[in-house]
Amino acid sequence: MEWNAETLPAALAVVSAFLFALGVQLQHLGLKHADPRTGTLISIGATAAVYWLVAPMFTISTYWLTVGALWFALVGLFRPALSARLAMSGIKYLGPTLTSGLAATNPIFAAAAAVIILGEILTLPIAVGTAAVVMGVFVASFARGGIRRGWPLWAIALPLGAAFFRAIGHPITMIGYETAPSPYFAGLVSYSVSFVVSLGAYQLGRRKMPPLSPGMGWFALAGTINGLSLYCLNTALATGKLLTVAPIVSCSPVFAMALGLFVFKKEIITRRTVATIALVVPGVVIVVVYG
């Protein structure tokens, strides 16, 4: 197969989706030994450390003096500092597969921002895709005869919130590329800022780092993998079209389900979970492709 300007971004998006799903599963293992806030700090810190270790090979010093660095820093204030915290809490309450499925709605929020802020027209495909996502959330929350679930209803807001902040980060990052066209530099700045924000919040909460445990290793590994996933995604966005990349990345729940079922063998796949993902993921794809 010949790699070109069309196939390479798609391949990078597939790798990003797989790595993100793998990171979710590893975080799920880590949550058995530590709380979400500690896990988020370790995960982001591990990613930032790896980025800085290889920074001399990939970073152009003049990028620090560009407006793009400021845009990337702005992204770091909420992604992954806040989005990862919300996603980690979602994994704790909902499990990795359902969390990934609901978090895949980030293109929906991007489409909503385009309609409200940019004045774009709400077309029928966008409406259909949005309806599919809403139905998916409803299926995840309710069952015949009332609510039947092992988690609180408000927990749905956790992965949806993570999706919202991730969606905001994409256009801001693309604006930053205008003066600092480096996917690696974008990740370096955003993760560094996010680590400072997360560390500050951790200390303000008067928390103390718990003793070393196996969970910390899982979080550190997940953070490294998530950093690589973001780099692949940023590179795909820098070299390809958003309408090509976004639908592929949104399929990460499929990888999460496969990993949970065949590799980790600890995720219980229920019919409601499958139905939720079957509604959410196609809805996201419809919105991105036809939006």
Per residue in 169-185, pLDDT (tens digit) is 888 888 899 999 999 99
Contact call for residues 47 and 227 (beta carbons, < 8 A): yes
H or E element, residue 219: helix 214-239
Q: Compute the radius of gyration of the chain from its Cα atoms.
A: 18
Q: Over the range 252-277, which residues count as b (16 or more CB within 10 Å of their CB) and which as e?
A: bbbbbbebbeeeeeebeeeebbeebb
Split at pLDDT 50, 70, 90, the class of 116 is confident
Amino acid at 186: A
The pLDDT of residue 87 is: 83
Q: What is the pLDDT of residue 147?
A: 44
Q: What is the largest CA-CA distance in the chain?
A: 62
| pLDDT of 129 | 82
Taken in order 80, 82, 84, 85, is the CA torsion positive or negative?
A: positive
Measured distance CA(91)–CA(108) in Å, rounded: 21
Structure token pair of residue 253: 């729940």
* Residue 143 CB neighbours (<10 A): 11
Which of 92, 101, 43 is CA-nearest to residue 227? 43
Which residue, 161, 195, 193, is CA-closest to 41? 195
- Cα dihedral 226, 108, 254, 224, rounded to 10, equals 0
Name which residue leads in pLDDT, 7 or 143.
7
Query: Binning pLDDT at 50, 70 and 90, where does residue 139 land?
Result: confident
Alpha carbon distance 91, 135 (integer Å): 21
Residue 43 parent element (H or E): helix 36-53
Asked if pLDDT for residue 242 goes beyond 70, the answer is no
Q: Are 12 and 229 in contact (CB under 8 A)?
A: no
Nearby residues of 210 by Cβ (< 8 Å), 6 or more positions away: 34, 38
Q: Please enumerate in sequence order all residues whose Cβ is within 8 A of that of 171, keeping only pairs 6 or more positions apart, or say none.
A: 110, 113
Q: Above 90 in pLDDT, residue 262?
A: no
Q: Look at the block and give the residue holding tokens 């807001």.
A: 157
This prediction has a pTM of 0.81
Q: In b/e form, how buried is each residue of 194-204, taking b as 16+ CB within 10 angstroms?
A: bbbbbeebbee
- Average pLDDT along the chain: 83
130/150 Cα distance (integer angstroms)? 26
Whether the per-residue pLDDT at 68 is higher than 90: the answer is yes
Hey, what are 65's tokens? 């003096």
Res 2 pLDDT > 70: no
